[in-house]
Amino acid sequence: MALKQKGSGDAAAADASKRRRVGFAGIDAGTEANECMQVFIARNPDDVGSEDSISIEPFDLNHFFGEDGKIYGYTDLKINVWISAISLHAYAEISFKETSDGGKGITDLKPVLQNIFGENLVEKDEFLETFSKECHYISEVVKNGTSIKHDASNEDDLAVEIVQVELQGAAAFLYSRLISLVLLLVEGSTPIDITDHGWEMLLIVKKAAPESPGSKFQLLGFAAVHHFYHYPESTRLRISQILVLPPYQGEGHGRRLLESINSIAESENIYDVTIEDPSDYLQYIRSSIDCLRLLTFEPIKPALGDMVLSLEETNLSKRTCSLTMVPPADLAETVRLKLKINKKQFLRCWEILIYLHLDSEDHKCIDNFRSCIYDRTKGELLGGASGTNGKRLLQMATSYDEDSSFAVYWTKEGADADDQTVEQQPEDLKIQEQQLNELVDNQIEDIVEVAKNVRSRGKDKLAA
């Protein structure tokens, strides 16, 4: 970690003297970390300090710097961090004009950076040496793993390999170096406890050209998965973390990792596959993959056809009849047994599959579909009760979204009627209805987005 102070000491002293003549300086407002800190991926030593370095965008650097996310005591502060694509070591260069205590102290930057990068954070000379000394680091991990077959549609795909390794030894050491990228790029992430039994890691790597010097493999991304017991005698597979390195995002590597995990689950007869707190985008990719798998799964086709027919023939607009889009219970179990898709995920995909088979020009049919989504959402949030003992939505402004955030609450049976008067006011019911409709609209938007992706990638499957 390098510290560079701009300007001379005499100038700094003169400025300090000038402030004393003028009077008291204002309270230091601080600088947000997001405004003064940048992180780059360095593919070779020449990238350090170069405009050719690949900049990455952490989801939020502020949360590493205290509750208010600010750095105090520096003028013209700039923090540049480079992470080696070869060894995953990090080097930080810090520059500023001057430091002064403006009432909030002077933030000690070193422990904060060490908290993010740990032992990966080294001085510049050592960082530059890692490009040559550790150029075979990834290869050593890969050679001890098991290669997983995946579909390859072009020559670039043929150079990509997915390797399954137990999270111990060299692989565990590699994960410890990947933690800093996980903390920077995955919101709400925490390091996994690799001392627990059952952890594995899938690495997606690209083979280097035979004539290329240095490492034989380039790390593109990884997934950390955990095998855990399911009563009475099976194992579930949970995806805990999945990350594609920024330079290689948007090239389908996340999809390849998910498809490989599904393949492992089927070959090892895992009970089912789950994902721990997936992001919206990861859920989008996952649902797209699972829907494509389900499109060619023969056992669901009769029930799916019946459901689509019911939506086409039923008129739910007047609410004289009702319809639920729930698949037969034995069908969800068949999907779990054969495809290892858990029930919650299958129900999500079921609605997408139904939408895929509807005629978007048939307004009555689309309205029926929306009514079913509305009834399901209302039932999940408010339950079946409609009186004062049922659940209620309460509008509640939060820092996340002041306009559309809410809490779900309910009253106890037998509670004093006077305590429930406010809950039954027409204005409250109107707000509740508005929020429910917003939730339904958001869910349908998500369904439509996945359906578009599935339709573009699975035209042949839809036509079958």
Annotated active-site positions, please? 276
The DSSP element (H or E) to which 83 belongs, if any, is strand 78-84
19, 25 contact by CB (below 8 A): yes
Write the DSSP string, 221-287: EEEEEEEEEETTTEEEEEEEEEEE-GGGTTSSHHHHHHHHHHHHHHHTT-S-EEESS--HHHHHHHH
- Total Cβ atoms within 10 A of residue 433: 12
What are the CB-based long-range contacts (under 8 Å, 24+) for 298-305? 299/331, 299/334, 299/335, 299/338, 300/327, 300/331, 300/335, 300/353, 303/327, 303/328, 303/331, 304/350, 304/353, 304/354, 304/357, 305/357
Query: What CA–CA distance (Å, rounded) separates 279 from 186?
Result: 9
Question: Would you say how long the chain is, in residues?
Answer: 464
Question: Structure tokens of 69?
Answer: 């996310």
Encoded amino acid at 327, one letter = P
**What are the counts of helices (DSSP H) followed by strands (DSSP E) for the chain?**
15, 17
| 104 three-state secondary structure | coil
Q: Which residue has the tokens 């005629």?
A: 359
- Total Cβ atoms within 10 A of residue 209: 7
Contacts of 224 (CB under 8 A, 6+ apart): 167, 175, 192, 199, 200, 201, 239, 240, 241, 242
* Ordered alpha helix ranges (H), 62-136: 109-117, 124-133
